Structure 1
Amino acid sequence: MRQQVLVLYLATSALDSDVVGWSRYDGTGRTRPTTGDSDEPPYPTGLAALHDGWRLFQASQLLPPQSGHEYDVSFLKHEFFFEKVEDSPHS
């Protein structure tokens, strides 16, 4: 068994909001890592990834911005980690 990891960055903290960035890592060795190289995300929302069998195992903390920094540009803060565990082709 090998783990696949999908990281989705969503527009808001809601799982049904649009995907704005993503990374995918395949521990099975079937595919190479992707970091959002294409124009289309693997799923339109985090909820769509759940419907396809990905398990959510971590979501970023919701932290309010400090006063005076509400409009600063920084990292993508609505980060969700998903996983699938599948048979390895090498087993």
Structure 2
Amino acid sequence: MRQQVLVLYLATSALDANVVGWSEYDGTGSRNPTTGDSDEPPYPNGLAALQDGWRLIQASPLLPPYPGHEYDVSFLKHEFFFEKLVAVAHEGTNR
């Protein structure tokens, strides 16, 4: 089994919020380890990823902004990590 990881950054902390950024990492060896060259996200929201079989393994904690910095631009704070385990056949081995 090999792991695929999908990181979705959502507009809010709700899983049905729109995706505003994403990264994909494929440990199966069937494509480049990092993917995501498309201008379109792989899913419209986190709920769609769950419905497609991705397992949610981490959501970022909600932290209030420091007083006076409510409108500062910073990192994307609504980050969700998903994974899929994919069976990979290895020629010539029993792994």
- Taking structure 1 as the reference length, what is the TM-score of the superposition? 0.94
Which structure has the larger Rg over C-alpha atoms? 2
Equivalent pair of 1:28/1:89 in contact (CA under 8 Å): no
Identify the residue that residue 43 of structure 2 maps to in structure 1. Answer: 43
1:89 CA displacement: 3.7
Identify the residue that residue 62 of structure 2 maps to in structure 1. Answer: 62
Q: How does 1:8-87 map to 2 (within 5 A)?
A: 8-32=8-32, 33-34=34-35, 36-87=36-87
Kindly provide the CA deviation profile for residues 9-66 of structure 1, in whole angstroms up to 9, marking residues without a partner as x: 00000000000000000110112112x4311000000000000000000000100001
After TM superposition, which residue ranges in structure 1, 4 or more long, deviate above 3 angstroms? Answer: none
Q: Percent of pairs identical after alignment?
A: 79
Secondary structure, counterpart of 1:28 in structure 2: coil
1:37, 1:73 → 2: CA distance? 24
Tell me how large the CA RMSD over aligned residues is. Answer: 1.0
Secondary structure, counterpart of 2:20 in structure 1: strand
- Structure 2 gap segments, 5+ residues each: none
